[in-house]
Amino acid sequence: MGFSGHLVFARSEHSLLETPLFGGADPELKGDAHVWSRPGGWQTLQLVHGLRDDGRLAAVVEWTGAPACVADVSDNSVALVTGLDTDGRRWQAWLNPDIAAGLLAEEPDDLDDMSLWLDTPEFDETVRRKRAELDADVPADAEGAIAWATAAGVRAARQSRIEEVLRSRETFVEDLFDALLDELGFPRAAQPSEPLPGASGGAAG
């Protein structure tokens, strides 16, 4: 099974796992956690558990004094990224939207057996409509991400590049998260980092 959990991206002089927000985590949580660093104190913290609501993300922003974001990852294949800056401005975007559309497709009210619906033309059409909705949101999602990166003091690539990442599909969604941070202008790691469990071998942040 692939990785499911959270990737927390924030800036700190110390390892994010040692901050008051995560330093009190139980031994099981700490044992499964990893941190990848970028220049300037930017880090990606991988947690199997630990960030279930925006209140915790707000606490990260308050403690670090810098914008932060979290990717809620499911089985290496899809993620919802939520970013927050120090003024409370928030943005969200799906990574691997083709897969997200399948997960977000609304089921019929009278559905008795999910497996019987998955192979029907009705399911395919529902997914197609949801994918179109997600695609229509991409420009606004990209604008929000760029504004967030600007608040963090970095300069993003052209909006079209950000939109391209948000519309892309990769086998491992962690690679898309890493690519999004790169295109948003955050300093890249000097050398590749150890991959996440089940990932393809690229850096996770």
pLDDT tens column, 53-68: 557 899 899 999 999 9
> What is the overall mean pLDDT for the chain?
83
Supply the pLDDT for residue 98.
93
Residue 58's domain spans which residues? Answer: 5-183
Supply the pLDDT for residue 72.
93
Specify the pTM. Answer: 0.84
pLDDT at residue 24 greater than cutoff 70: no
Assigned token pair, 147: 């504004």
Does residue 115 fall inside a structural domain? yes
Does residue 90 fall inside a structural domain? yes
SS3 of 31-94: the string is HCCEEEECHHHEEEEEECCCCCCHHHHHHHHHHHCCCEEEEEEECCCEEEEEEECCCCCEEEEE
Per-residue pLDDT, averaged over 179-184, amounts to: 97
SS3 assignment, position 194 = coil
Does residue 92 fall inside a structural domain? yes
Does residue 204 fall inside a structural domain? no
What spatial distance separates the first Cα and last Cα of the chain, rounded to whole Å? 21
pLDDT in tens, 103-141: 887 776 665 556 666 667 777 888 899 999 999 999 999
Supply the pLDDT for residue 203.
41
pLDDT in tens, 139-179: 999 999 999 999 999 999 899 999 999 999 998 999 999 99
Supply the pLDDT for residue 202.
41
Does residue 189 fall inside a structural domain? no
| Cβ 200 vs Cβ 176: under 8 Å | no
Does residue 198 fall inside a structural domain? no
Supply the pLDDT for residue 124.
82
Per-residue pLDDT, averaged over 173-199, amounts to: 76
Count of structural domains within the chain: 1
